[in-house]
Structure 1
Amino acid sequence: MTTKFLKVTASAMALSLTVAGAASAQDDPIKVGATVYGLNAEFMQLWANAAENHPAVLDGTVELTVFDGRYDALVQQDQFETMITQGFDAIVFVPMDIEAGATAVQLAHDEDIPVVGSNARVNSDLLTAYVGSNDVEAGYLEAKAVLDKMNCEGDVVIIEGPIGQSGEIQRGEGNEQALAECEGVEVLERQTANWSRAEAQSLMENWLTSHGSDIKGVIAQNDEMALGAIEAIKAAGMDVADFAIAGVDGVTDALNAVKRGEMDSILQDATGQAQGAIDVAIKAVMPDYEPQSPLWDDYPELYWADGGESLYQVPWTPVTMDNVDQLLSERQ
């Protein structure tokens, strides 16, 4: 998986990621739209860049447009309406809100446009399929990494994702499963930082003022927020080594922080999720299509099943000292 960062501007509502067709390109490419909850942070940039580099996009079979949802469910609904009006053939949906996103899916369903979920869940049974990872498992793994380092002793804080997004709900459930295994650990504080490094830094600064060295562990529901907590600890003149810290996603700065021994992380495969979702979306429009994403070879346990499954669960990869250099090399 070689990925390059996708540069976006704050004013960009949509990025046209159409690549000129080669000799194999169709005269009328399949129009696929992808609306993602927001493109400010690295993980969704990796996801969008992977979508751009799907083989069917590169050879002109698919004309792909990625819409920046700007962290607003209503903006994403407007983007669905735009795609419906403009006659898109299929939609890939990374929703901001697990409940509000269902209205957008209904709009597309009413116009017989298949919708494939990816990365974040929406509470709708009208999706063609979902291609993502098990966030309950991620929440458990990250919390367990923190609690194991603490030997199940001491107090923790939890930095949550946006309230109402599936990652916050399901990773929170996994956090609680791990905490239930450590009866002596108390949660001092829990609050959302909206997947934001800056918000998490501010939150952690306040908590350090209130609780100081009583905080022994930081369970952050994504890497950006874990990195914000680390910045707050350093700014306070405290030693990061005195804290057990973990996040989720495997973004580049987190991989480097793992390498420095500052935190734990679990890699979420943005490339696999994005390209797998596009494979399923194409199959919904082109019945004879065979998948072109490397996803299906990368994870032998993940069966294509002729694109007919409702759930494709991409495995997590815990980041370790043994694999971190390889993971970083794939970001070159």
Structure 2
Amino acid sequence: MKSLRRLLLPSLTLLLLTACSSSDKTQSGNGQEIVVGATMLSMQNEFIVNVHDEMEKKAKELGIELITVDAERSALKQIEQVESFIAQKVDVIIMNPCEVEASSPAIAKALAAKIPIINVNSETSAKPSAFVGSDDVESAKIALKFLADKLGGKGNILMMQGYMGQAAQLKREQGAKEILKNYPGLKIIAQQTAEWDRAKAMSLMENWIQSYGSQINAVFAQNDEMGMGAVKALSAAGLKNKVIVVSIDAIPDALQAVQKGELDATVFQNAQQQGAKAIETAVKLAKGQTVEPATLIPFQLVTKENVASFIKPAN
């Protein structure tokens, strides 16, 4: 993460993060080196950076060229980036969609140009050549079932939403509400977006503390960045021991927080497998091979009891 931050400037859209130096290049069906263009939702988001790290690692391992651009959360910019990849005649495009609907035209443009396009981590309403990611409905069901058990089926929950209109936000909300149907004693008393952002989540949590105070029993944050922001605000207000917080992704910060007892639980989303399998799928498509239309990687609940198995030893 630190090394990537040194490479990232907000004004830069193009990130030439992988220039393959291997002499053993993987070739496409036409005998040329495979070139993959990737447009990512936001390279300021730690989980997305983790997915990209694995894409980069797998691209080097397989001897292909990966050109990455940062959509900076703009679906319009993402479509323009896909158009640029089409003009460059890349072999395959990997898109980490900004929005379900607004990013969908990029799919049609790529397919019309006869360039396979893979959605990684997030979805569009338009059907790509393949999808690699996880079922976000499942992640929220795991998180809300944890809260329901901890609260004994009764209590007030605040829900921090992700970037509105993105697949993860929509599906995590859907999954949460499916579980809540089974627990009439659980109530969402407020829900609002903090746009996957830690600082925005902290500010939102401070406002909620002012509004709801002792009525708050739990917080479901749709990602760890927001969960960590909520924990910080609750701790500052002296309420953390009274409020259960669960979030999703199991980024390193969140795992450390679970181990320390600051964050009650997170739901592990496997960035490594998503990134690696996206590149593996891209290589197969470049070679004209058949791929699975959807590769789904399961989520896992992480609590203090099992967190040690998810924490990677320091290098």
Q: TM-score, normalised by structure 1?
A: 0.88
2:122 maps to 120
The CA deviation string for residues 113-164 of structure 1, in whole angstroms up to 9 with x for no partner, is 0001110011112x11101001000011111112211111221110011111
Report percent identity of matched pairs: 34
How far apart are 1:57 and its partner, in Å? Answer: 2.5
| Counterpart position of 2:35 | 31
Query: What residue number does 1:189 align with?
Result: 190
* 1:213 CA displacement: 1.1
Structure 2 residue 84 is the aligned partner of structure 1 residue 89: no
Q: Residues 222, 253 of structure 1: CA spacing in aligned structure 2 closer, same or farther, 3 A cutoff?
A: same
- Residue 251 of structure 1 aligns with which residue? 251
Aligned equivalents of 1:260 and 1:70: distance in 2?
Answer: 33
Deviation by residue 1:191-227 (Cα, 9 ceiling, x = unmatched): 1111011111111100100110110010111111111
**How far apart in 2 are the matches of 1:24 and 1:321?**
44
Contact 1:34–1:66 under 8 Å retained in 2: yes
CA RMSD in angstroms, aligned pairs only: 1.8
Query: 1:2-27, CA deviations, whole angstroms, 9 ceiling, x for partnerless residues?
Result: x9863222122121122443332258
SS at match of 1:34: strand
For residue 51 of structure 1, what is the aligned residue in structure 2?
55
For 2:26 and 2:139, locate their aligned partners in 1 and report how far apart those are by CA, in whole Å. Answer: 40
- What's the CA shift for 1:44? 0.7
Q: Give the counterpart of 2:303 among 320, 323, 326.
A: 320
Which residue in the other structure is 1:295 paired with? none
Contact 1:147 1:217 in 2 (8 A): no
Aligned to 2:270: 269
The aligned counterpart of 2:283 is 282
- Find the counterpart in structure 2 of residue 16 from structure 1: 16
Moved more, 14-23 or 160-169: 14-23
Contact 1:13–1:69 (Cα < 8 Å) also in 2:
yes
When structure 1 is superposed on structure 2, of 112-121 and 138-147 the one drifting more is 138-147
Number of residues of Structure 1 aligned to a counterpart in Structure 2: 308
| 1:173-205 C-alpha deviation (Å, 9 max, x unpaired) | 110012112101221100111101111111110
Tell me the CA shift for residue 330 of structure 1: 5.5
Give the distance between the partners of 2:236 and 2:271, measured in 1 at CA. 31
5+ long unaligned stretches in structure 2: none
Native 8 Å contact 2:265 2:304 kept in 1: no
Match of 2:146? 145
Q: Which moved more, 1:43-52 or 1:11-20?
A: 11-20
CA distance in 1, matches of 2:214, 2:26: 62
Counterpart of 2:45? 41
Secondary structure of residue in 2 paired with 1:6: helix
Instruction: Give the deviation of 1:308 after TM superposition.
Output: 2.4
How far the C-alpha of 1:322 sits from its partner, in A, is: 4.6
Aligned residue among 63, 76, 79 for 1:77: 79
Post-superposition shift, 1:321? 3.3
1:86-135: per-residue Cα shift (whole Å, max 9, x none)? 1111001110100011101111111000001110011112x111010010
User: 1:26, 1:150 → 2: CA distance?
Assistant: 53
1:146 counterpart SS class: helix
